């Protein structure tokens, strides 16, 4: 896209903010948010250390680069890089980050998905989270038509965990060859071990580069060969870079060292003559009129306290321009047109609970966006669809289903940002993880659960009380109180952003101030593929 | 004689432009002649008409009198200005012009001939009572004995000079009889190559003299005046690099005395036009005639600055047969002017001439600063001609102010792509000895060029310049990004390290690390974190605030070289590649060409044993000979060049195996 041809005169209505960053609640919100961010930064620092200082040192002492150092050298200088799910596996028995670094970056002017094993974490061996994170990266590549660069140095499966990895792990190679079949280039840069199943990463990629004296790619290493066949063979002859470059042909390029390998990887990308299929940015990409810094003070960390989504939109979109659709109808869902970094978007943002009007408005708006091939941006902050007699009788299920139908069958790219609560079926209607948004980011204040902790505990309590009463027993109020407290605590914990991000329910927690940038990268990635809407949906129940 | 209507300038570069400027002011049409390498030069473009002289070397082009006269006839030029150098002091050429009906802007051919022979000039001057230094003609004496006899007449130390020469070519200083034979041989060779005349002169050499010269003006009506003196003592390789007027060692009385001597000299030889009488001035005021330059001098602008006169205009008036105007008859001095000659040369490598593309040439337009240049942005400095880029002149009320102004203009000049003597000139202009007026022709012997030519910008300032270059690079890359162009450069949601840029400057390599985050700019140079903020970081200009001090840097990139100008001066930083390509090994003991040039002679053959420091080959570049020496004793394994071959700088000449 020739940026010189972009219109320069901004058009469209501009949002007016009513947020007072100096207000007491805003200052308190900001402080609470900064507290969360500090906690997250601590975990990120831990993730960056991979297997810990000792292993990092040892790796460097061997003249090897760390996963993130390899990525930095692979990517274009000063180009943005969006790391995905850096806190995966946090709070589990595995190292935070899950022994793999994934992200969207720019290599030789080509936007790519990069997947780099972290050899400082148990030799880069894959655990279930590693697998999940890698598969998600491949999914992003496939959906957005992004070339993939694998930075390979992994001992394969974490053997004691093989039962959780072996069977689903085959998807990695399936996905890699399917990417290739779809015309999406795949590259393997092999820096070290890539054994057993791992050997099929170079095996299934379009291009392979191996580092001389470092890369070891074989189905069975010397010990396994000895056990299996009695043959005594050295690792270089079984799977060295020289052998694969000169004898087996598994390697296309022999790199003299790690830098050379990354240089060759960049050259491969440069020679792809890659062309994105989306139209690219078409609108002026001027910054918002309001300071994104103020986003910290807008949402409360208490998800029950509402905030106006327009205040968020005003700090995300180009020039704070927002052409609101149906402003007078279905007021707790804000819909409208805007652009982010020049990419047009159709925004759906919750201002609370979803009623029938909001659901129908959403279904209509999603269809309109599909008509004009415009990506959807969901800003989720909802306690779900409204319950109660009047609403059930008013057809809330029918109307909610229309929204779900529209979201599920929409074919324009969708990006979801969890800016607050995400409860109940509201998660689905607003394009939650199961609805396969191209990217899904989470703010630190985000809460996610089938319902709120108090509601969930309350429901359990009512059900238990009813059961006790049915059995003619006296309900143990003290036990009920304890149960409620325990359940509330558990749900509270399990609904936190950190819990969600550890389980790959999102593509990462982002600092609210970075939202515009992350969206820019995500939208640009979406435009690597064709941006095309649909006219085909399931039957809308009328 | 009628007025000149169309004038051909038989020269190139700055002097051609200089002459044409006055022509334009006098309503005279201009014709340039140009060699092939000069085809795109500013002086060619600025002329009303231009005639090509096919070829590149001076001998094929600017020394081709016949072709130049033919060009004048073809364009209908009725006058010809020879500038300086080339044919400016060639009596035969002057005669040819006259014979073709073209007014030669200069003295009569006979005067040129008389003054062109240094021996003849000395004889004439001595006869007129002008003090001359002891000296003899070398004639065709080449043997040691004969030369020693001649040296005995003159006395040591002595100077071997080309009789036909000037500008330091074919000139050798001899302090020891043992050096004499070699000096005569090489001076003769150089003189023959440069002037087509190998006649030599041996002359007494005065220790610690000043070079002082008097500007003469004479018309065809018998009037001869002088326009005061110029001092040109700061020289390298016997070539002037800094010239000024007035001379601090000349008081009013001495000025009158030397001026009168010069006028006498001019009258004695029947001089016409603008000329210069050169003297050596001893510390006590004693002075000896050196020679008469029968042309406009390179350094004429200093005289123009202090007198307010246009010497080219006066030359042309005289050539038209007009009497000298009143302002020339009673010239007045005002203030002090200093000129420097800005050369493409490497002061730290024995003033080796440098060539290449001058990507940018800009001297700040400060009031009182005059720039006479032959180059502009993008000019190619070739090895064919004298590597002078420009003359920069400062005129101020007094000497100290002129020196300061000139130094500032030079320090602020954008000279990108070619190594220049700028740093050396600035250091001389700021040198306490220079400022005290203690200048003599040995200034650069006392203060070695290696020290004077050392970078003006110290290491700390070079580091800051590297930081500025890195940030400008970031802006440049951001502007050229084909995707995500509007996003913050280098953005990371999980920053793990700094973005890196490596530069090589004159103080070594510098690694710059930077990352702009929410907390502002994190900037490191060579592992040291700077308390820095980037106030503004564009492609061409970077404003950095370090330790509370804000500084503006301009950055211009040519190839992989970043030219950074900051308050401390100019720094050229070569950016090192991100992925170094493994170098192709070359055999140890390889000897390289120090600069581009032509192989003149190869002194060794394969299998020869050579001593350390032995001459392996001799190159000619910029009309100077440059020896390629064996670094260590050993055996010649291979010779990769032959005489007559053109070689690039850094080309392997020969391989000498040690031992």
| Per-residue model confidence as pLDDT tens digits over B14-52 | 999 999 999 999 999 999 999 999 999 999 999 999 999
Q: Do A109 and B482 touch (CB under 8 A)?
A: yes
Chain B contact residues (CB < 8 Å to A): 473-474, 477-478, 481-494, 496-497, 499, 501, 518, 578-580, 582
Average pLDDT for residues B432-436, to the nearest whole number? 96
Please report the DSSP string for B243-294 in residue order: EEES-TT--HHHHHHHHHHHHHHHHHHT--EEEEEEEEE-TTS-EEEEEEE-
* Residue bearing tokens 């006219």: A535
Q: Do A80 and B477 touch (CB under 8 A)?
A: no
pLDDT, residue A330, reads 96
User: CA torsion, points A470, A472, A476, A477, in degrees to nearest 10?
Assistant: 70
End-to-end CA distance of chain B: 74
Q: Are A183 and A528 in contact (CB under 8 A)?
A: no
Alpha-carbon gap, residue A525 to A439, rounded angstroms: 10
Alpha-carbon gap, residue B413 to B416, rounded angstroms: 9
Distances (CA, A) of A101 to A69, A129, B452, B601: 11, 12, 53, 62
Q: Do A341 and B490 touch (CB under 8 A)?
A: no
State pLDDT tens for residues A130-187.
999 999 999 999 999 999 999 999 888 777 778 888 888 889 999 999 999 999 999 9
Residue A54 tokens read as 């000792």
Residue A196 binned pLDDT confidence (cut-offs 50, 70, 90):
confident
State pLDDT tens for residues B442-477.
898 889 887 887 788 999 999 999 999 999 999 999
Q: Identify the sign of the CA torsion A98, A103, A107, A110.
A: positive
Nearest alpha carbon to residue B308 among B285, B333, B287: B333
Q: Do A80 and B487 touch (CB under 8 A)?
A: yes
State pLDDT tens for residues A451-488.
888 888 888 889 988 988 899 888 888 988 998 999 88
Least confident of A113-127, A196-210, B282-296, B446-460: B446-460
Alpha-carbon gap, residue A145 to A276, rounded angstroms: 8
Residues of A in contact with B499 (CB under 8 A): 72, 77-78
Q: What is the CA radius of gyration of chain A?
A: 25
**Which residues numbered 4-63 in A keep a CB inside 8 Å of some CB on B?**
44, 47-48
State pLDDT tens for residues A386-418.
989 999 999 999 999 999 999 999 999 999 999
pTM for the structure as a whole? 0.83
* Residue bearing tokens 């400057």: B505
Residue A11 binned pLDDT confidence (cut-offs 50, 70, 90):
low
User: How far away is chain A from the Cα of B615, in angstroms, using its nearest Cα?
Assistant: 40
Q: Are B338 and B393 in contact (CB under 8 A)?
A: yes
Residues of A in contact with B496 (CB under 8 A): 48, 66, 68-69, 72
Q: Do B496 and A48 touch (CB under 8 A)?
A: yes
State pLDDT tens for residues B144-178.
788 888 888 888 888 888 877 666 677 888 888 88
Alpha-carbon gap, residue A108 to A76, rounded angstroms: 6
Residue B102 tokens read as 């073209």
Q: Are A149 and A202 in contact (CB under 8 A)?
A: no
Look at B159 and B103; give whichever has higher pLDDT: B103
User: How far away is chain A from the Cα of B492, in angstroms, using its nearest Cα?
Assistant: 5
Phi, psi dihedrals of residue A478, rounded to the nearest 5°:
-65, -45
Average pLDDT for residues B408-421, to the nearest whole number? 93
User: How far away is chain A from the Cα of B478, in angstroms, using its nearest Cα?
Assistant: 7
pLDDT, residue B43, reads 97
Pairing of strands A148-154, A110-117: parallel
Nearest alpha carbon to residue A423 among A401, A446, A403: A446
Please report the DSSP string for A404-421 in residue order: HHHHHH--S-EEEEEEEE
* Residue bearing tokens 């001019």: B266
User: How far away is chain B from the Cα of A130, in angstroms, using its nearest Cα?
Assistant: 18
User: How far away is chain B from the Cα of A506, in angstroms, using its nearest Cα?
Assistant: 15
Look at A233 and A525; give whichever has higher pLDDT: A525
pLDDT, residue B533, reads 85
- Other residues' Cβ atoms within 10 Å of the Cβ of residue B653: 23
Alpha-carbon gap, residue A356 to A385, rounded angstroms: 8
Query: Does residue B648 have a pLDDT over 90?
Result: no
Q: Omega of the bond prior to B157 within 30 degrees of 0, cis?
A: yes
Residues of B in contact with A521 (CB under 8 A): 484, 487
Residue B412: HSE in the Cβ half-sphere, 13 Å Cα cutoff: 13
Q: Do A79 and B484 touch (CB under 8 A)?
A: yes
User: What's the 3-state SS for A260-311?
Assistant: HHHHHHHHHHHCCCCCCCCCCCCCCCCCCCCCHHHHHHCCCCCCCCCCCHHH
Residues of B in contact with A513 (CB under 8 A): 518
State pLDDT tens for residues B188-230.
888 887 777 778 888 888 878 899 999 999 999 999 999 999 9
Q: Do B493 and A72 touch (CB under 8 A)?
A: no
Residue B215 tokens read as 């500007």
Q: Do B490 and A79 touch (CB under 8 A)?
A: yes
Alpha-carbon gap, residue B172 to B189, rounded angstroms: 12
Q: What value of ipTM does the predicted structure carry?
A: 0.94
pLDDT, residue A1, reads 38
Q: Beta partners for A335?
A: A325, A348
State pLDDT tens for residues A17-60.
999 999 999 999 999 999 999 999 999 999 999 999 999 999 99
Mean pLDDT of chain A: 93
Residues of A in contact with B481 (CB under 8 A): 76, 78-79, 106, 109
Least confident of A109-118, B441-450, B462-471, B501-510: B441-450
Q: Do B483 and A109 touch (CB under 8 A)?
A: yes
Nearest alpha carbon to residue B523 among B539, B511, B509, B508: B511
B280 Cα distance to chain centroid: 22
The set of residues, in sequence order, having a beta carbon less than 8 Å from that of B228 and lying 6+ positions away, is B214, B215, B245, B246, B255, B259, B303, B306, B307, B331, B333
pLDDT, residue A2, reads 41
Locate all alpha helices (DSSP H) within A372-414, ordered by sequence. 389-393, 396-409
Q: Which residue out of B479, B484, B490 would a mutagenesis test of the A interface target, given it has the greatest number of A Cβ atoms within 10 Å?
A: B484
Query: Does residue A507 have a pLDDT over 90?
Result: yes
Q: Do B484 and A82 touch (CB under 8 A)?
A: no
Element (H, E) at A210: strand A207-211
DSSP SS3 for B10: coil
CB of A444 less than 8 A from some CB of B = no
User: How far away is chain B from the Cα of A520, in angstroms, using its nearest Cα?
Assistant: 7
The partner residue sitting opposite B499, judged by closest CB among A66, A77, A262, is: A77
Mean pLDDT of chain B: 91
Nearest alpha carbon to residue A30 among A421, A513, A515: A513
Chain A residue closest to B471 (CA)? A78
The DSSP secondary-structure symbol of A122 reads: G
**Percent of chain B's residues with pLDDT above 90:** 64
Q: Are A313 and A298 in contact (CB under 8 A)?
A: no
CB of A265 less than 8 A from some CB of B = no
Q: Do B481 and A79 touch (CB under 8 A)?
A: yes
Residues of A in contact with B580 (CB under 8 A): 259
pLDDT, residue A542, reads 86
The set of residues, in sequence order, having a beta carbon less than 8 Å from that of A196 and lying 6+ positions away, is A156, A157, A219, A220
Chain B residue closest to A285 (CA)? B486
Alpha-carbon gap, residue A206 to A192, rounded angstroms: 19
Locate the DSSP E strands across A291-392: 323-325, 333-340, 343-350, 376-382
Q: Which residue out of A79, A288, A506, A526 would a mutagenesis test of the B interface target, given it has the greatest number of B Cβ atoms within 10 Å?
A: A79
pLDDT, residue A5, reads 46
Q: Which residue out of B486, B537, B581, B582 would a mutagenesis test of the A interface target, given it has the greatest number of A Cβ atoms within 10 Å?
A: B486
Residues of B in contact with A510 (CB under 8 A): 493
Q: Do A276 and B486 touch (CB under 8 A)?
A: no
Residue A3 binned pLDDT confidence (cut-offs 50, 70, 90):
very low
B602 burial (CB, 10 Å; 0-12 / 13-18 / 19+) is: buried
Q: Are B613 and B591 in contact (CB under 8 A)?
A: no
The length of chain B is 659
Q: Are A117 and B529 in contact (CB under 8 A)?
A: no
Alpha-carbon gap, residue A525 to A527, rounded angstroms: 5
Locate the DSSP E strands across B48-128: 49-52, 79-81, 103-104
Alpha-carbon gap, residue B204 to B134, rounded angstroms: 6
């Amino acid at each position: 896209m020739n940026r010189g041809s972009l219109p320069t005169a901004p058009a469209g209505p501009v949002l007016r903010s009513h947020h007072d960053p100096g207000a007491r609640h805003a200052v308190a919100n900001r402080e609470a948010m900064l507290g969360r961010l500090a906690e997250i930064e601590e975990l990120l620092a831990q993730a960056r250390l991979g297997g810990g200082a000792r292993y990092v040192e040892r790796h460097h002492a061997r003249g090897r680069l760390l996963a993130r150092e390899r990525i930095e050298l692979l990517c274009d200088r000063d180009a943005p890089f969006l790391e995905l799910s850096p806190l995966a596996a946090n709070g589990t028995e595995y190292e935070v980050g899950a022994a793999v670094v994934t992200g969207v970056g720019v290599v030789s002017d080509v936007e790519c998905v990069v997947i780099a094993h972290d050899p400082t974490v148990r030799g880069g061996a894959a655990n279930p989270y590693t697998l999940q994170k890698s598969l998600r990266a491949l999914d992003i590549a496939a959906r957005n038509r992004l070339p993939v660069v694998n930075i390979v140095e992994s001992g394969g499966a974490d053997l004691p965990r093989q039962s959780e990895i072996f069977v689903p792990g085959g998807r990695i190679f399936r996905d890699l060859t399917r990417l290739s079949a779809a015309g999406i280039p795949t590259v393997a840069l092999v820096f070290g071990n890539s054994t057993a199943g791992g050997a099929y990463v170079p095996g299934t990629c379009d291009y392979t580069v191996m580092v001389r004296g470092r890369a070891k790619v074989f189905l069975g290493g010397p010990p396994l060969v000895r056990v299996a066949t009695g043959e005594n063979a050295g690792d270089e002859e079984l799977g060295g870079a020289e052998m694969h470059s000169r004898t087996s042909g598994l390697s296309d390029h022999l790199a003299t060292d790690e830098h050379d390998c990354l240089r060759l990887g960049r050259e491969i990308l440069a020679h792809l003559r890659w062309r994105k299929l989306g139209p690219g940015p078409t609108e002026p990409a001027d910054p918002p009129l309001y300071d994104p810094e103020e986003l910290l003070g807008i949402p409360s960390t208490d998800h029950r306290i509402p905030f106006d989504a327009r205040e968020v939109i005003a700090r995300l979109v180009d020039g704070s321009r927002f052409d609101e659709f149906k402003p007078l109808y279905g007021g707790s869902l804000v819909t409208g047109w805007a652009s982010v970094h020049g990419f047009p978007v159709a925004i759906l943002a919750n201002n609370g609970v979803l009623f029938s009007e909001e659901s129908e408005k959403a279904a209509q708006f999603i269809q309109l966006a599909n008509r004009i091939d415009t990506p959807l941006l969901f800003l989720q902050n909802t306690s779900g669809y409204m319950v109660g007699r009047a609403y059930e009788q008013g057809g809330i299920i029918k109307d909610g289903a229309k929204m779900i139908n529209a979201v599920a069958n929409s074919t324009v790219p969708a990006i979801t940002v969890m800016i607050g609560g995400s409860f109940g079926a509201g998660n689905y209607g607003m394009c939650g993880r199961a609805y396969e948004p191209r990217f899904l980011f989470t703010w630190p204040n985000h809460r996610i659960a089938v319902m709120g902790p108090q509601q969930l505990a309350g429901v359990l309590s009512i059900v238990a009380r009813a059961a006790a009463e049915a059995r003619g027993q006296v309900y143990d109020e003290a036990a009920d109180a304890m149960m409620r407290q325990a359940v509330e605590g558990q749900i509270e914990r399990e609904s936190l952003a950190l819990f969600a991000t550890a389980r790959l329910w999102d593509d990462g927690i982002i600092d609210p101030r970075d939202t515009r940038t992350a969206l820019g990268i995500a939208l640009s990635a979406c435009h690597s593929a064709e941006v095309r809407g649909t006219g085909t949906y399931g039957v809308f129940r009328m | 004689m009628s007025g000149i209507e169309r004038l051909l300038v038989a020269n190139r570069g700055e002097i051609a432009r200089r002459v044409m400027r006055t022509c334009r002011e006098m309503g005279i049409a201009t014709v340039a002649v140009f060699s092939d390498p000069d085809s795109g030069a500013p002086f060619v473009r600025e002329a009303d008409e231009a005639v090509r002289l096919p070829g590149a070397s001076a001998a094929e082009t600017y020394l081709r009198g016949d072709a130049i006269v033919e060009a004048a006839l073809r364009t209908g030029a009725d006058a010809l200005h020879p500038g300086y150098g080339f044919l400016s002091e060639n009596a035969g050429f002057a005669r040819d012009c006259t014979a073709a009906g073209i007014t030669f802007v200069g003295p009569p051919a006979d005067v040129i001939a008389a003054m062109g022979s240094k021996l003849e000039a000395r004889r004439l001057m001595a006869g007129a009572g002008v003090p001359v230094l002891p000296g003899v003609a070398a004639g065709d004496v080449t043997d040691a004995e004969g030369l020693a006899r001649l040296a005995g007449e003159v006395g040591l130390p002595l100077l071997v000079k080309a009789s036909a020469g000037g500008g330091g070519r074919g000139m050798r200083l001899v302090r020891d009889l043992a050096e004499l034979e070699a000096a005569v041989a090489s001076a003769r060779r150089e003189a023959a190559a440069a002037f087509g005349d190998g006649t030599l002169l041996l002359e007494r050499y005065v220790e610690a003299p000043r070079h002082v010269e008097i500007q003469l003006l004479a018309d065809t009506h018998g009037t001869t005046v002088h326009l005061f003196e110029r001092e040109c003592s700061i020289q390298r390789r016997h070539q002037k690099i800094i010239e000024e007027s007035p001379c601090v060692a000349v008081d009013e009385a001495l000025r009158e005395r030397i001026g009168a001597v010069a006028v006498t000299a001019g009258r004695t030889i029947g001089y016409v036009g603008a000329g210069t009488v050169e003297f050596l001035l001893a510390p006590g005021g004693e002075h000896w005639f050196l020679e008469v330059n029968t042309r406009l001098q390179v350094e004429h602008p200093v005289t123009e600055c202090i007198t307010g006169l246009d010497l080219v205009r006066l030359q042309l008036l005289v050539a038209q047969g007009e009497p000298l105007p009143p302002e020339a008859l009673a010239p007045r001095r005002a203030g002090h002017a200093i000129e420097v000659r800005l050369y493409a040369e490497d002061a730290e490598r024995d003033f080796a001439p440098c060539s290449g593309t001058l990507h940018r040439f800009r001297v700040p337009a400060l009031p009182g600063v005059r720039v006479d240049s032959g180059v502009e942005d993008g000019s190619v400095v070739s090895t064919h001609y004298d590597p002078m880029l420009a003359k920069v002149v400062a005129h101020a009320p007094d000497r100290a102010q002129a020196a300061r102004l000139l130094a500032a203009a030079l320090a602020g000049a954008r000279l990108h792509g070619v190594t220049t003597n700028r740093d050396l000139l600035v250091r001389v202009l700021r040198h306490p000895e220079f400022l005290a007026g203690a200048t003599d022709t040995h200034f650069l012997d006392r203060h070695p060029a290696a020290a004077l030519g050392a970078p003006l910008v110290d290491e700390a300032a070079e580091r800051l310049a590297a930081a500025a270059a890195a940030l400008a690079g970031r802006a440049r890359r951001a502007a050229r990004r084909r995707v995500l162009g509007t996003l913050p450069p280098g953005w990371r949601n999980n920053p793990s390290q700094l973005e890196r840029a490596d530069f090589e400057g004159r103080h070594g390599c510098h690694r710059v690390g930077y990352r702009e985050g929410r907390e502002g700019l994190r900037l490191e140079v060579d592992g040291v974190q700077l308390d820095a903020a980037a106030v503004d970081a564009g492609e061409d200009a970077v404003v950095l605030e370090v330790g509370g001090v804000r500084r503006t840097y301009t950055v211009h990139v040519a190839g992989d070289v970043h030219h950074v100008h900051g308050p401390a001066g100019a720094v050229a930083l070569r950016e090192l590649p991100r992925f170094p390509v493994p170098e192709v090994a070359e055999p140890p003991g390889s000897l390289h060409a120090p600069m581009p040039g032509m192989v003149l002679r190869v002194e060794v053959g394969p299998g020869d044993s050579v001593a350390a420091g032995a001459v392996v080959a001799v190159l000619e570049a910029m009309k100077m000979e440059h020896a390629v020496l064996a670094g260590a004793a050993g055996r010649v394994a291979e010779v990769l060049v032959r005489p007559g071959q053109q070689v690039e700088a850094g080309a392997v000449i020969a391989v000498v195996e040690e031992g």
